[in-house]
Amino acid sequence: MKFQAIKGVRDILPPESALWNRVEQTAREVFRTFGFSEIRIPDAEHTELFTRSVGEGTDIVSKEMFSFQDHEYPDLDRFRGTLIFHQPTIEDRMQFDLYKAQVSGFVNELSKHVSKRELPSTPESLRAITEIPTLLAQLENMREQYRETASEQTRVRFELYAGHVRDRLRAAQLGDNLSLRPEGTASVVRAYIEHGMHVLPGNVKLYYMGPMFRRERPQRGRYRQFYQIGAEVLGTSDAPGIDAEVIGMLMTLFEQLKLKGAVLSINSIGDSKCRPVYLEKLRAALVKIRDQPEPQMGHDSLSRIETNPLRVLDSKLESEQAIIEKLPRIGDHLCADCRGHYDEVKRQLTLRGIAYQENWRLVRGLDYYMRTTFEITAPGLGSQNAVCGGGRYDGLVELLGGPAATKGIGFAIGTDRLVLSLQEAGEGTVQEGLDVYLAWFGAAAQAAAIGLAKRLREAGFVVELPAIEIKFGKSLGLADRLKARHAVILGDDELAAKVVTVKRLADGSQKKLAEPELLAYLSAETGKG
Ligand code: HAM
């Protein structure tokens, strides 16, 4: 059997991985200068964290999460399996007593774990704990009755009730519902609350990088395991200057990476005061269109009218564009506070010399946003051209059980897409070849070469030290193919004269140098050391 990576995931190989390192390293440096610190968040969380924050009705949560039930107590699970398999019989008293004792034992065990919060207290598990003892008592009565009457009716009822016990056993949950993270904001907010970070002075500024998981249809720039570089600001202030500063940090990073043609789009989607009013207006307009004799909208948009009308604005369907352009716009319905906030965000961006486009249709696909939303597109990416998305989420900390007044804003860059765009623009090559191929000939030379390689590496040069002796011609051929800049040759003659021969492979020029001169020469050639 030949194994291949699973659908929608991929390996990132050298030399491309060097570009990834450059991107991540540059992000770390830029973020540091803006006062951000790294947070490392887990790859999996309780499913409910995402259901509550990203939103049950979103594509991410409803269709795309990799979720599984944890298997914390495999022995208990196996035990349950045998109880479900071996059903009690009404005639056999000993078998019934054993069954009853075992099922009661299972329920006790389950109840103990649930009360210690080692297993989730789902409605199904609570039903098993409260109802199974009653069902067992009823089965016992029926068994007694049957002994006296041998009534067929009692036997049928007994089997029905035994079936209820089996169903309750099956439904009890013996592990947590977990999901691979589809994004990072929910985890950062969870960690912020869990570690009481609201007591820290000023705004808490955190960044993270790593893989995210969404079961999407894979295509160029869209993967099931993809990577994000994200940053979040949490605290009591929602000053528009924070929004502009966060966007400014992003633009600084893109500038340093020489990403050309990035376009920033911004919008405000209002808050819990003005958005509901707007949503009603939007829904009413959409219902009017739906109820026309020949509605011009596709199935997706029609089904969103009730569930999530804002997402209709996201539609890319050519046939819907003219209709969408005529729909009520959030910008015309912002309350005074949101309007003031948005105007100030724009002024703050201008103060920083950041160019932006306003896009009233930029609503984003996650439920936690309010007020500022933004997205950055980059060239060379085809249809998946959003290289970064973000926005403000002032109510999220409270929604997840944290202090009510906490505000938040952040973004996440799609690293895969950023790297693709850089490659398309010819910014994708990162020079990290060999400085030195250290060819040695003979046992004494090998010993000397080992020491020399160590000192050259300590000085910062990239050195390839062959593990076995290779004949001279072959050795230099290999150095060439590995694209080494220099071959350093160490044989008996060099050892005797306490020098090495260094050959510049580009032009074949060579000289004999003692070690201090070699270091100086390589420094001058490579800019390292
Ligand atoms: P998002 O828009 O869902 O936002 O994702 C951010 C970026 O991740 C996208 O713009 C895109 O570049 C990249 N991305 C998303 N899905 C995929 C995929 N399947 N394959 C490749 N790249 C992808 C969030 O995740 C929010 N947590 C951002 C945020 C942080 N908002 C506030 N703070």
CA 488/CA 470 separation, integer angstroms: 14
Cβ(390) – ligand 1 distance below 6 Å: yes
Ligand 1 centroid to residue 337 C-alpha, Å: 28
Pocket test for ligand 1, best of 39, 222, 228 (most atoms within 8 A of CB): 228
Cβ(389) – ligand 1 distance below 6 Å: yes
Cβ(223) – ligand 1 distance below 6 Å: yes
pLDDT at 301: 86
User: Closest residue (by CA) to atom 21 of ligand 1?
Assistant: 222
Identity of the amino acid at 184: G
| pLDDT tens, the chain, 529 aa long | 899 999 999 999 999 999 999 999 999 999 999 999 999 999 999 999 999 999 998 999 999 999 999 988 999 999 999 999 989 999 999 999 999 999 999 999 999 999 999 999 999 999 999 999 999 999 999 999 999 999 999 999 999 999 999 999 999 999 999 999 999 999 999 999 999 999 999 999 999 999 999 999 999 999 999 999 999 999 999 999 999 999 999 999 999 999 999 999 999 999 999 999 999 999 999 999 888 887 778 888 888 888 888 889 988 888 889 889 999 999 999 999 999 999 999 999 999 999 999 999 999 989 999 999 999 999 999 888 999 999 999 999 999 999 999 999 999 999 999 999 999 999 877 767 899 999 999 999 999 999 999 999 999 999 999 999 999 999 999 999 999 999 999 999 999 999 999 999 999 999 999 999 999 999 999 998 8
Of 180, 176, 175, whose CA–CA distance to 41 is shortest?
A: 180
| Helix, strand or coil, per DSSP, at residue 529 | coil
Cβ(424) – ligand 1 distance below 6 Å: no
* Beta-carbon contacts of residue 381 (< 8 Å; ≥ 6 apart): 220, 221, 387, 417, 420, 421, 424
- Tell me the CB-side half-sphere exposure of residue 195, using CA atoms within 13 A: 11
- Tokens for 72, please give them: 């914390």
Ligand 1 centroid to residue 415 C-alpha, Å: 9
Pocket test for ligand 1, best of 223, 362, 387, 417 (most atoms within 8 A of CB): 417
Q: What are phi and psi of 294, to 5 degrees?
A: -125, 80
CA 375/CA 391 separation, integer angstroms: 8
Cβ(183) – ligand 1 distance below 6 Å: yes
Burial class (CB within 10 angstroms; exposed 0-12, middle 13-18, buried 19+) of 510: middle
| Helix, strand or coil, per DSSP, at residue 528 | coil
Cβ(387) – ligand 1 distance below 6 Å: yes
DSSP state of 270: -
Q: What's the pTM value of the predicted model, to 2 decimals?
A: 0.90
Ligand 1 centroid to residue 404 C-alpha, Å: 26
Q: In 381-408, which positions are buried (b, 16+ CB within 10 angstroms) versus exposed (e)? A: beebbbbbbbbbbbbbbeebebeeebbb
Ligand 1 atom at minimum distance from 366 CA: 3
* Beta-carbon contacts of residue 216 (< 8 Å; ≥ 6 apart): 8, 64, 222, 223, 224
Pocket test for ligand 1, best of 212, 265, 420 (most atoms within 8 A of CB): 212
Cβ(229) – ligand 1 distance below 6 Å: no
| Run of H or E including 375 | strand 372-377
User: Closest residue (by CA) to atom 4 of ligand 1?
Assistant: 389
Cβ(234) – ligand 1 distance below 6 Å: no
Residues 149/141, Cβ–Cβ less than 8 Å: no
Beta strands across the sheet bearing 67-69: 44-46, 177-180, 67-69
pLDDT at 428: 79
pLDDT at 316: 85
User: Closest residue (by CA) to atom 13 of ligand 1?
Assistant: 414
- Tokens for 363, please give them: 């609503």
Q: What are phi and psi of 434, to 5 degrees?
A: -75, 135
Ligand 1 atom at minimum distance from 224 CA: 19
| Helix, strand or coil, per DSSP, at residue 213 | strand
CA 364/CA 188 separation, integer angstroms: 19
Ligand 1 atom at minimum distance from 183 CA: 25
Ligand 1 atom at minimum distance from 386 CA: 10
pLDDT at 160: 96
Tell me how long the chain is. Answer: 529
Ligand 1 centroid to residue 183 C-alpha, Å: 7
CA distances 151 to 28, 145, 163, 164, 481, Å, are 78, 8, 19, 20, 89
- Tokens for 320, please give them: 């819907």
Identity of the amino acid at 369: Y
User: Closest residue (by CA) to atom 16 of ligand 1?
Assistant: 222
- Tokens for 172, please give them: 């009890």
Cβ(50) – ligand 1 distance below 6 Å: no
Of 229, 287, 221, 271, whose CA–CA distance to 254 is shortest?
A: 229
Q: In 462-497, which positions are buried (b, 16+ CB within 10 angstroms) versus exposed (e)? A: bbbbeeeebeeeebbebbeeeebbbbbbbbeebbee
Ligand 1 centroid to residue 226 C-alpha, Å: 9
pLDDT at 319: 87
Q: In degrees, to the nearest 5, what angle opens at C-alpha 328 toward C-alphas 327 and 331?
A: 130
Ligand 1 centroid to residue 413 C-alpha, Å: 6
CA 9/CA 51 separation, integer angstroms: 24
pLDDT at 439: 97
